[in-house]
Amino acid sequence: MCQVNGLLRAICLVFLTWFWVIFHVTSFSAKRFTYIVHMDKSVMPKVFNSHQNWYSSTVDSLNLKNLHSFGGHRSSPELLYTYDHAAHGFSAVLSLAELEALKKAPGFISAYPDSSAQLYTTHKPEFISLDTASALLHASNYGKDTIIGIVDSGVWPQSPSFNDEGITTKVPSKWKGSCDRGQGFNSSMWNAKLIGVRYFNKGAKENIPLYIQDSALDRRGHGTAVFSIAAGNYVKGVSFADYAEGTAKGVAPHARVAVYKEDLFKNSVAIATFAAMEKGIVVSAAAGNSGPHCSSVENGFPWALTVTASNTDRQISGTLIMGNGLNIAGWSLFPGYILSQTMPLLHEKTMSNCISPVLLSKSPYGIVICEIGDIKRQIRSILRVNLTAIILIHEDPPGVVFQVKAPYPYIVIRPKDASFVITYAKNGNTPFASMRFRQTFIGIKPAPTVAFYASRGPSKDFPNILKPDIMAPGTLVLAASSPYSREGSTGSNNFAKSSYMFKFGSGTSFSNPHVAGVAALLKSVHPKWSVAAIISAIITTASIRDNTMHPTREANINFETASPLAMGAGQIDPNKALDLIFDATPQDYVNLICSFRRFKPQIKTITRSSNYSCVNPSSDLNHPSIITSYAFKNFMRNKGISEDRNKCRRRCTNL
């Protein structure tokens, strides 16, 4: 075809290009995606006796209207789930043409593609003063009969953290949930602790059907860890490679838990949390792990608690013992005991940046010292070669040690300590050292410090409300896990298999369940408090000082004083959060939304109702913390940082 020259060739080329464009556009329009659709339930035709029938009929009607011309292909829209609590509407698999037709249907409000959101112990409860003598813990009877709902990657029910020992009462009559059976998950696995198990995987199976299990069983380990931090029961003699040995327990050890395995929709979080607030359910959400850049905080809704992460006073340690008599305690999760033999300390220019696996592979026998640099590239590099031992340098060692997982001895140290090591390696007479592992130190100062990785404010959506709200332990948290999980692995496969029940994790998604547990305890003591009251009690009683009685600091080189944009109101202090409250109603939050012009078209989507109005838009919310854009802009200008917070890539520290 088209074996001609000149003008005919050009005409033929244009025809082929036109045909390809038409075919490509038509094929793309026929391709089907999963969408979350919000409907106005108040306009449901009277002919339908339930919203489920209405939604089903609406989707079926699309099947009759959309006949694609190529090959006589008829699209087949599929209804996946219907929603009538956190949202009004449904999820469905639709083509672009079907989506356009749906937008003309009565009651349609909005639709957006389904997309997955990022999934953002033995000492942590004591660190936030929830020990056996805790006033809040006793007043709440350890969270008795409070129910915590967790939306995550599922649960591993065989974990000892989910035993129901000490929970002697029946499941509260207010509980209306259920338990889904599934692959590897039967009725014998739920008890008086684990009272609800649901999974929602139809949308995910549309995209990756071979890898999605019909079960709430947690193969990733993340949901299991979050569950155990918030409400895990007491488990004695827990450790990971003898690190952090002690009794594992959640913040509310006798609370009940309902677990929901679901691919989260980013756009649905605001809607679901608003609905929960209306029903008196306190929601805490992770702030994200995109720090220390400005305006990187996620889930910055004023009706939910946005939780950031801190480092604690516990050091999971490895010690470097140098030939000049100096010992330096760093951080390590290496499962060995003592690297007793002394080895040369190596600091060579050709490999000291440690980003080239080729150069590192040529390293002679000894302990390689990596200069401070791009830690992510260094970690990728050292995992590709076999070294005798290695020293990494970073300003926030506890925040990065979890990522290392090297199969050979390693220690991560701070820059101020590294200067002594490098000086000795350069100037010493045949410098040498050995290493010792499986050490845990308590009482490290200063603590808490703001984790280096934690996302920073202000919120892009609600810049006049201070976000994050609160800080809680999130670094190197020892929590229950799944045997299939690679999270928390030390790089030693044999050891990881033998210690799967509890592993270390870091991130704001590990700090978040601490706050959820505290909210559950407060709800036990004050069952009539509103969501706003509980949120304000937690925020207004937070601590802004560390264990040296100085203002809380950043976990960076200079331990700079942390700003509210980094730590919110400060570290959570549960025992003080019993009295002082600020209250607000759902309409108060709607008035705040209405005060932002760009949100007005989304009012009905968020509130799922026509009962709210924008008659009195106001940014004057009775909230325990605020931020003024004037002060923020002045400070950014004085620091020489761009005023455009959306483009700010500088570190948002010491503000």
Chain segment 59-83, per-residue pLDDT in tens: 988 875 554 433 444 457 888 888 8
- Its CATH architecture, for the domain 314-442, is 3-Layer(bba) Sandwich (3.50)
Mean per-residue pLDDT over the chain, rounded: 82
Question: How many of the other CB atoms lie within 10 Å of CB of 3?
Answer: 7
The pLDDT value given to residue 77 = 85
The pLDDT value given to residue 369 = 96
Question: How many of the other CB atoms lie within 10 Å of CB of 506?
Answer: 24
Lowest mean pLDDT among 21-35, 402-416, 566-580: 21-35
Q: What are 14-56's pLDDT values in tens digits?
A: 444 444 444 444 444 557 788 888 888 888 888 888 888 999 8
Q: Which of these, 481, 476, 456, lies nearest to 466 by C-alpha position?
A: 456
pLDDT at residue 377 is higher than 90: yes
Angle, helices 508-525 vs 531-540, to 10°: value is 120
Residue 549 and residue 529 in contact, taking contact as beta carbons nearer than 8 Å: no
At position 63, the amino acid (one-letter code) is: N
- Burial of 199 per CB tally in 10 Å (0-12, 13-18, 19+): buried
- Note the residue count of the chain: 655
CA distance 296 to 449: 19
User: What's the rounded mean pLDDT across residues 550-566?
Assistant: 91
Q: HSE on the CB side for 396, CA within 13 Å?
A: 28
Q: What are 226-257's pLDDT values in tens digits?
A: 999 999 999 998 888 888 888 899 999 999 99
**11-19 LR contacts (CB < 8 Å, sep 24+):** none
The pLDDT value given to residue 602 = 72
Q: Which of these, 48, 107, 59, 112, lies nearest to 82 by C-alpha position?
A: 59
**How distant, in Å, are the alpha carbons of 171, 217, 227, 292, 526 from that of 149?**
14, 16, 9, 30, 18
CA distance 423 to 347: 10
- Burial of 480 per CB tally in 10 Å (0-12, 13-18, 19+): buried
CATH class for the domain made up of 32-112: alpha beta
pLDDT at residue 118 is higher than 50: yes
Question: How many of the other CB atoms lie within 10 Å of CB of 650?
Answer: 13
Pick the catalytic residue: 51, 123, 222, 347?
A: 222
Comparing 523 with 603, the larger pLDDT belongs to: 523
Q: Predicted confidence band at 640 (pLDDT cuts at 50, 70, 90)?
A: low
Q: Tell me whether strands 338-346 and 502-505 are parallel, antiparallel or unpaired.
A: unpaired
Q: Which of these, 479, 529, 580, lies nearest to 125 by C-alpha position?
A: 479
Q: Predicted confidence band at 330 (pLDDT cuts at 50, 70, 90)?
A: very high
pLDDT at residue 9 is higher than 60: no
Q: HSE on the CB side for 406, CA within 13 Å?
A: 26
The pLDDT value given to residue 630 = 58
pLDDT at residue 209 is higher than 80: no
Comparing 85 with 336, the larger pLDDT belongs to: 336
The pLDDT value given to residue 615 = 79
Pick the catalytic residue: 152, 263, 417, 469?
A: 152
Q: Predicted confidence band at 165 (pLDDT cuts at 50, 70, 90)?
A: very high
The owner of tokens 């990733």 is 220
Q: Which of these, 469, 488, 468, 486, lies nearest to 477 by C-alpha position?
A: 488
CA distance 509 to 309: 8
The pLDDT value given to residue 593 = 80
Comparing 445 with 269, the larger pLDDT belongs to: 445
- Burial of 45 per CB tally in 10 Å (0-12, 13-18, 19+): exposed
User: What's the rounded mean pLDDT across residues 629-653?
Assistant: 53
Segments making up each domain of the chain, as ranges: 1-30, 32-112, 126-313+448-570+580-584+621-647, 314-442
User: What's the rounded mean pLDDT across residues 509-521?
Assistant: 95
- Residue 598, φ and ψ in degrees, nearest 5: -70, -15
User: What's the rounded mean pLDDT across residues 634-648?
Assistant: 50
Give the CATH H-level superfamily of domain 126-313+448-570+580-584+621-647: Peptidase S8/S53 domain (3.40.50.200)
Tokens coding 207? 């995209």
Pick the catalytic residue: 506, 509, 563, 595?
A: 509
Residue 372: strand, helix, or coil: coil
CA distance 316 to 504: 10
For this structure, is 509 an active site residue? yes
| Strand partners of residue 238 | 246
Q: What SS3 string covers 511-537?
A: HHHHHHHHHHHHHHHCCCCCHHHHHHH
The owner of tokens 């942390």 is 562
CA geometry: angle 267, 450, 253, nearest 5 deg:
75
- Domains 32-112 and 314-442 equal at CATH topology level: no
User: What's the rounded mean pLDDT across residues 90-98?
Assistant: 88
For this structure, is 85 an active site residue? no
pLDDT at residue 141 is higher than 50: yes
Comparing 282 with 585, the larger pLDDT belongs to: 282
For this structure, is 242 an active site residue? no
Comparing 619 with 296, the larger pLDDT belongs to: 296
User: What's the rounded mean pLDDT across residues 146-159?
Assistant: 90
The pLDDT value given to residue 421 = 96
User: What's the rounded mean pLDDT across residues 601-622?
Assistant: 76
Lowest mean pLDDT among 141-155, 355-369, 560-574, 584-598: 584-598
CA distance 208 to 213: 10
User: What's the rounded mean pLDDT across residues 305-309?
Assistant: 96
Four-residue CA torsion sign, 43, 47, 49, 55:
negative
SS3 content of the chain, % helix, strand, coil (to 5): 30, 25, 45
CA distance 110 to 103: 8
Residue 473 and residue 125 in contact, taking contact as beta carbons nearer than 8 Å: no
